[in-house]
Amino acid sequence: YFMPVFSDRQKVEQRMGIVPDTQSVARFVPSDSIFKLDLCFDIEKLRASLAESLEKVGYANNEWKAQGFGILPLNHRAGDNDLSANDLSGRYWMRKDDRYVEEAFEDYVEESAYTDFDSRFAGTYLEEVYRALCARFPIGRVRVLSKEVYNCNSWHRDPEPRLHIPIVSNPGALFVVNHHVTHLPADGSVYFTDTRGYHTAINGGIEPRVHLVAALAFPPSQN
């Protein structure tokens, strides 16, 4: 009875002799599932272009807005700019309760069908960023996603990986992929995130977090 108690105390006392790392949490730390690309954009132009676009159209008025999420779609299917609620979310999987059983939610979205850039943003720096991404990758839905303070996404996985470009961030904004946790600074960098694995985004800061997120239109994972 006493041996485990003594052993546990030793473990705790050993840890007390180690000073925690409080510096690396304020910068990007890569992993196999999330890494920085060479491509980079002008962050000030990106912020100014977003501000102008939001002043013109605002975030989509949907159920997520009331929960602290903002969505600004930048493209749509060819010849069809009428986006449904499913277009804004799409298929994902999660284990929603203590059964730990994975379940599918929402319908699949055919990413490769989203080929038309929203004409309301024509000529903006947002379009320049969009064209640069399309020149390098098979791009599906592109959305600007905002997250209010003290807010997080569900713990889930998607059919496809994503590219993230932080536009507005803070040290408390974190991205988690398969238990790897890191901060993504808003400096114009482009990050590959393998969101086919379980992931979430957290804004534990006191300012909103805003990312441009582009789905990669590679053949999707069906299960």
pTM: 0.93
Judged by DSSP in three states, 204 sits in coil
* Alpha-carbon span 217 to 113, nearest angstrom: 9
**Secondary element (H or E) of residue 169:** none
CA contacts within 13 A on the Cβ side of 28: 20
The confidence score (pLDDT) of residue 217 equals: 97
The confidence score (pLDDT) of residue 193 equals: 98
End-to-end CA distance of the chain: 47
What is the radius of gyration, based on Cα positions, of the chain? Answer: 20
The confidence score (pLDDT) of residue 4 equals: 64
Rounded (to 5) percent helix, strand, coil in the chain: 25, 35, 40
Give, for all 223 residues of the chain, the pLDDT tens digit. 455 666 888 889 999 999 999 999 999 999 999 999 999 999 999 999 999 999 999 998 667 787 889 999 999 999 998 899 899 999 999 999 999 999 999 999 999 999 999 999 999 999 999 999 999 999 999 999 999 999 999 999 999 999 999 999 999 999 999 999 999 999 999 999 999 999 999 999 999 999 999 999 998 766 6
**Secondary element (H or E) of residue 4:** helix 2-16
The confidence score (pLDDT) of residue 222 equals: 60
Cα 52 to Cα 55, 56, 155, 168: the distances in Å are 5, 6, 32, 15
